[in-house]
Structures are given as structure tokens and as C-alpha cells.
Amino acid sequence: MASHPVVVIGAGPAGLTAAYELGKNSSSSLILEAGKQVGGISQTVNYRDFRFDIGGHRFFSKMPMVTELWNEILGDNFLLRPRISRIHYNQHFFDYPLKATNALAGLGVVEALLVCFSYAKVKVFPNGQEENFEQWVINRFGYRLYQIFFKTYTEKVWGISCTEISADWAAQRIKNLSLKEAVRNALFGQRGGKKGEIVTSLIEQFHYPRLGPGMMWERCEELVAGFGSQTLKGMKVERIRHRHGRVDCVSARASSGEHLEFEGSDFVSTMPLRELIEAMDPQPPEKVVEAALGLRYRDYLTVVLVVNREDVFPDNWIYIHSPEVKMGRIQNYKNWSPYMVPDPSRTSLGLEYFLWDKDDEWTWSNERLIEFGTRECAQLGLINPREVEDGTVVRMEKAYPVYDHHYQDYVQTIRQYLETFSNFQTIGRNGLHRYNNQDHSMVTGVYAARNIMGESQHDVWAVNTEKAYHEENRTTSGNGGDRMVPVRVQVSGDELPKENEEELIEIVFAKLDPVAMGVAVGTISGLLILIGTVILVLKGGPVVGPNLSLLGNFLFGFQVTWGGSLIGFLEGGVGGFAIGYSGASLRNWSMKAYAKFIRWREEVNRRRNLLD
Amino acid sequence: METDSKGDEELSRVVAKIQGGVLAVVCGLMGGLGLFIMTVWLLLEGGPKVGSHLQLLSNFFIGYSVTWKGSLVGLFYGALTGGILGWAIGFIYNRVVGIRYR
């Protein structure tokens, strides 16, 4: 039995990042990967020098920690690529992210009118409940737009009715957008490029490794090996043996059929929770096993067609909403990177199908799937079947954790059980049963490594749920996540570091104190009237201050006399206070209204990207 | 209302201090240029009794009149008064804020 300090199960982004972080801190690890290739769902498959992804992977992250890691690992091997994506529906192409004018123009006059009526109706009579995806989207787009642009595609991807999908899935993309975050994005842009630079538009371009995302993870594997760690491929973990709240070893079956056991002091797993619980030895309590069996996963299958044509379409990918075909999305890999094809006169298309492993198509032969995909592609008017020269099929099990109505309870039960182990952590998309992007998975890997090193205790389950984690390295104030804590009022001053965006926003949007402003303006107003009146009284004359005395029309009892000067001081002071108080309040209200407008605008933008 | 209270906390945790010097300069410029432009405007308009009402400011600003020379005197007085008022508002405001959030 081999013994290692840390055993990592899975060589996807989460597992390899954990091993990389450990390696940087002089801690070697053993990585057990069930597949033949590293990268998990972020791998790049090579078929006769045609490279393709398991779904497209844009490299964009709001977390500086991740962009730094990308740079460390892949250096200058990134391309900045334009993003073009559209929706195919009813023999029409619609821009995606959705643009109102383009969408309405493509739908025709009658349908456009119906869409507008439907939108207006939901704005006047919104659905009181937002428990499922359908209700969530209808409340924001209206029923008809939901039917055209969301229902068919979402049901193709998830294989269940939109009423069965939890609203969390949609809300995850825009929740936690605070006023301050929205304002910061508007003022400073969003940091998200591979160098952490400010990206003003998430929509138009993205970074992408020259040879696909797999290049990142193959390079990471090399770097990890340089730290003294080892990656064993084709090693499927079948048993995780534990006792007294600690995992002792894992038992794996090699592709040769040989059974091997690996001991370690710490264990990190990226296995799907369902498989993980099944592998625990001894078995967990009944309710934990039941919870694990209740979790569902969507499987993914891509049919790659090599087409003898230089340009098939300009998009990186097209969402296929048309219900007459089973295909959900189609990728054009050479538009992601020209290096993805060996011959520029050829195009490789990835026809993506989202399936359950019990679906017939999952077990079809590659030849049958290629023929089926070719036919569907031709049906959509994208290619001529005679142009297809070659093809292959890649299947990826458990690509998407399903967010149904029960998953949260199940995950909570499993989490409580797993947290009883002192040397075992679960990370990554399937390890947490969360629809994480690559960057979120990487952060869970970093946190798991840091927990092992005893640097600090990070909650990997909180990644992609709490604002504090999204804002890593930038949040300087209380990061209690959703929990509100009392924060002492500060008074702005020169001592605040202005280079800090957070602080700068605090200063710019600092609240004026209405009472203080009222007192200041009131005092000055009162004094002005007092001094003006006294000057005129002292000057004297036959008629003292005939013009200033007109103030008596507004200030009850005011005259240009000694007594009147005091009345003017008091009443002018009160009037000035009212003006100062209202002015400051109005200014505060305007700033907040402006910030809310910015947030609303950004939320609308995010909703337009809901399908990504 | 929960959203509102969250919004309040996010954007209003800091109470603004007023830079008295800056407010003095702003108010001074507005006061000086304001009085200068008003005087010049009335002079350009002309008429039998030029600026009879604005002329009343001479009760407070010694030497001011609605004339070309007076416009420069008004520029000075307007700037001085505006500057003092601006600074005074900033000073009082900051003092009150200091007391209230001590």
C-alpha cells in the first residue's frame, strides 16, 4: 500500500488546483484520475489533431486569485477572442445576449406585439411566487419570451420541466449584486480578464488558451509533477475507508483491473456526491445514502463533425432552441481558437446533446450518432451532409448537477455527514453538487489546500454563494456574507486610502448628514438676515430698509428694527434649516436612486446572459 | 423594505465631511461671478434707471454700484461673501457631524 501526504481524487480544475497549491507550499500529493486525460469537464479532446472542448470554456473570472493562477500556469498562451453567439429558433437567428430590437424584429410584427403585451401583463400582475425557474423567468421577461427563448433550451439542457427546476439556478447568476458592487462595476469596470484587468464588456470578447482549456490542465499536471506530486490516470476510486472520523485510505481499480490502495494523511475528493457516498466504507447512515441517491446529474454527449468548408458560421456557439431537433447547442471550435483545427480549410463542429444515461441516444453507436447529428445540422440549414468528412463522439457522465426542488435538502444532509471527518474535504462542481464554473472550482481547490496546510479555515461550501468569496482580495469591510452585522458609522476624511476602490466609492457616495446641513444653512441664513437688518437699522434714514422689510411677507412679524432682526434670525434660521435638511436628504436620495439605477441596468445585462 | 435597508447600509456607512476650503472656493466663485455677470447684464441692457434694485446691495457692499467699475467691486465682494459663507457652512456642518458621530 502506497502512502502519500495528500490524496486527491479527480484531476479536474478543482483537484489539480488543490495539488498545485499544495505543491507551491512544498507539500506533495497523489492525484487519482478515473479518466485517461486530465481536466475533467474542462479537458480538450484531440481527434486527429482536431481539438474540441466538453462545452465551451471562456476564461473570465471576477476573482483575482484565479486570474493570477491562470497566468502562473499558462503564461502567454492565451488568445483574446471575439464572442459571437446566437440563438436558432424557428429558422431564424437571434443575437445572444438578447437585444430587444433584434429579437422583436426577428419574431415578426404579430409575435412582437404579443411579446410586448405579455411583458406588460407580467409587469402589472407579476407572479407572487418565484419558486421555480419558469416563475422566475416569466416575472422578468413575460410568458411569450420565456416560451421562445428559455423554455425549450432549458428543458433540453436539464431534461426536466422548467417548473421542476429551482429558481436558485437562475437567481445564482444575479443574486448578491449589491448596490456597491453595481456602482463599482459601472465606475471601474469588472475585473475578469486573464490578467485581472478591467473588462468593460463581458459580452464582446473573452480569453481562451491557444489549444483549448485542456492545455491549462495538461500544463498544470506538468507543474504539479515538478513539485514531486504524481497523477495516476485510469484509476477509478471505488472505496473510501474510514474509522473514528478519519479517512484512512482509498481503494481504486486501475484500467488494467488491478486493485490498489492508497493511504494518506489528508484526502480531497472531487467525485460526484452520489458516487462518493456509495464508496464510503463503512456505509454512511441510511438517510445520507438516501439523500445521495436522490441527487440527479445530467449527462453530456458531443458529436464532432469535420466539415469540408472553411467558414460554416461566424459564431463561437449557437443555442438551438428549435424544438424540432434534439441538439441543444452547437460549437464551432476554430472560432474559439484557430489552432483548434489542423487545416484552416476545414471546420470542426461540436453538436451538443444533453441526456440522461438511460436515454436511448446515450447508448447509440458513434456512427449512428454522427449520422443523426449530420441530419439535424442539415435540417437547421447549417451544412450540406455531403460536406461531412469525418466525425467522432465524446460522452461525459454527470456533467451537470441538477438543481431540482429537493437537491438543497439532500446536499445539506450529505454535507453534515461529510463534515464529521477531520481529514476529508470535497470540492469542485460535482464534489459540492453546485453549478460552478471553472474558476469557482479552482477556488474550492485552493481553499482545500490551505485548510490542509492549516493556514486558515475556509468554507469550501460557501464558494459561489457568498459575496465575500466573489470579492476575494477586494473586500476590506465586514465579510459576513449574507449575515448583517452592526457596523460603526465612519466619518470620511483624508486618511481613507483613495486607491482602494471600495473606499473611494464610500467617499463618493458618502451620505450628507441632513441635520448637520440643516444647522449649518439655518445658522448662516439667520445670521445673514440678522446682520443685514442690523446694518440697515444702524444706517438709519427716513424710511429704514424698505426693500428688506418685504421679507415680512414670508417671515411672520419681521421688520427692519432691532426686534425684527432677532425675529429674522430665528425664522430665517428655521427656514434655512428646512432648506439645508431637505437639500441634503434630496442629494442622498438622488445618489441612492442613481446607484439603484446602475444596479438595475447591470441586472438586466446579467439576465440577458442567463443561458450561458 | 429589506432591500432598502440593505442598500442604506451599503452606500451610507460613511457620513460625508465637507472640505471647507473647497466649498469656500466654489461659493466664492459663484458669488463673485454671479454678481459680476448680473451687473454687466444690466449694464448691457441699459435703460433710464439701470439696475435700481441690484444697486441696493451698496447698503452692504461699500463702493458697489451698477456700473462697469462697480461690476469689478461686485466681483470682489461677491467672491469674498460667497467664500466666507461657503467656508462657514462647511465649518458648522463638520462641527455638527463631529458632535453627532463622536
CB contacts, 8 Å: A517 with chain B = 93
Which residues in chain B are contacts of A183 at CB distance < 8 A? 11
Taking the Cβ of residue B1 and every Cβ of chain A, the question of whether any pair is shorter than 8 Å is answered with no
What is the rounded average pLDDT for all residues in chain A? 86
What's A148's DSSP letter?
I
- Would you say residue A129 has pLDDT above 70? yes
Q: Which of the residues A512, A543, A591 would you substitute to probe the B interface, choosing the one with the greatest number of B C-beta atoms within 10 Å?
A: A512
Residue that terminates a domain, selected from A153, A168, A183: A168
Which of A511, A535, A539 lies at the smallest CB-CB distance from B12?
A511
Q: Which residues of A touch B13 (CB under 8 A)?
A: 477, 487, 489-490, 506
* Minimum mean pLDDT range among A400-414, A541-555, B2-16: B2-16
Give the CATH number of the domain where residue A248 resides. Answer: 3.50.50.60
Rounded Cα gap, residues A12 and A440, in angstroms: 12
Do A215 and A288 share a domain, yes or no?
yes
pLDDT at A16: 97
Exposure b/e, A545-554, CB count within 10 A at least 16 = b: beebbebeee
C-beta separation of A249 from A261 below 8 A: yes
Q: Is any Cβ of chain A less than 8 angstroms from the Cβ of B3?
A: no
More confident residue, A596 or A270: A270
> What residues of chain A lie within 8 A of the CB of B53, using their CB?
547
Asked whether the predicted pLDDT for residue B2 surpasses 90, the reply is no
User: Cβ distance A8 to A28 under 8 Å?
Assistant: no
Rounded to an integer, what distance in angstroms lies between the CA atom of residue A219 and that of residue A211? Answer: 11
Alpha-carbon distance A189 to nearest alpha carbon in chain B (angstroms): 18
Domain stops at, among A401, A433, A456: A401
Do A305 and A454 fall within a single domain?
no
Contact A580, A520 (CB under 8 A): yes
Identify the residue with better confidence: A125 or B9.
Answer: A125
* Measured distance CA(B33)–CA(B30) in Å, rounded: 5
Average the pLDDT over each of A97-111, A437-451, A582-596, B15-29 and give the range with the smallest value: A97-111
- In this structure, are A309 and A389 located in the same domain? yes
Residues whose CB is less than 8 angstroms from the CB of residue A114 and which lie 6 or more positions away in sequence, other chains included: A144
State how far residue B83 is from chain A, nearest Cα, in angstroms.
Answer: 13
Between CA B39 and CA B37 the distance in angstroms is 5
Peptide bond into A13 cis (omega under 30): no
Confidence grade of residue A237 (pLDDT, cut at 50, 70, 90): very high
Boundary residue ending a domain (A354, A386, A401): A401
- How big is chain B by its Cα radius of gyration, in Å? 20
- Owning domain of residue A387: 297-401
Residue A486 placed within a domain: no
Distance from CA of B37 to the nearest CA of A (A): 22
* pLDDT interval class at A219 (50, 70, 90): very high
Strand A190-191 and strand A246-254: pairing? unpaired
Task: Quickly state the pLDDT bin for A185 (edges 50, 70, 90).
Answer: low
- For residue A492, being part of any structural domain is answered with no
Within-domain flag for A215: yes
Q: Which of B7, B16, B97 sits opposite A592 (nearest CB)?
A: B7
Q: In which region does residue A199 sit, left (phi positive, over 0), alpha (psi from -120 to 50) or beta (all else)?
A: beta
pTM of the model: 0.69
pLDDT over 80 at A175, yes or no = no
- Cell numbers that stand for A558 in this block: 419681521
User: With an 8 Å Cβ cutoff, is B102 touching chain A?
Assistant: no
Residues A303 and A397 in one domain: yes
Mean pLDDT lowest among A124-133, A240-249, A359-368: A124-133
- What's the pLDDT tens digit per position in A290-345? 999 999 999 999 999 999 999 999 999 999 998 899 999 999 999 999 999 999 99
For residues A58 and A203, the answer to whether their CB atoms sit within 8 Å is no
Selected residues 512-551 of chain A with any CB under 8 Å from a CB in chain B: 512-513, 515-517, 519-521, 523-524, 528, 532, 535-536, 539, 547
Question: What percent of chain A shows pLDDT beyond 90?
Answer: 57
**pLDDT on residue A510:** 83
Contact A588 B12 (CB under 8 A): yes
CA distance B86 to A85: 55
* A498, A502, A503, A504: CA torsion to nearest 10: 50
At residue A508, the pLDDT reads 76
CB A255 within 8 A of CB A81: no
CATH number at A384 reads 3.90.660.20
Q: Residue A483 pLDDT more than 70?
A: no
Mean model confidence pLDDT for chain B: 86
Residue A420 has pLDDT above 60, yes or no: yes
> CA-CA distance, A513 to A588, in Å (whole number)?
9
Inform me whether the pLDDT recorded for A533 exceeds 60: yes
In this prediction, residues A231-259 reach a mean pLDDT of 95
Q: Is the residue at A604 inside a domain?
A: no
Return d(Cα A170, Cα A339) in angstroms, integer: 34
ipTM score here? 0.86
- Asked if B11's CB is within 8 angstroms of A180's CB, the reply is yes
Partners of A165 in the beta sheet? A404
* Mean pLDDT on A111-134: 87
The pLDDT assigned to A361 comes to: 93
Q: How many domains does chain A have?
A: 4
Name the residue with higher pLDDT: A555 or A541: A555
Top-confidence residue, A479 or A266: A266
Q: What is the mean pLDDT of residues A429-445?
A: 92
Q: Where are the domains of chain B?
A: 20-100
Tallying the residues shown for chain B, one arrives at 102
**Whether residue A305 is found in the same domain as residue A393:** yes
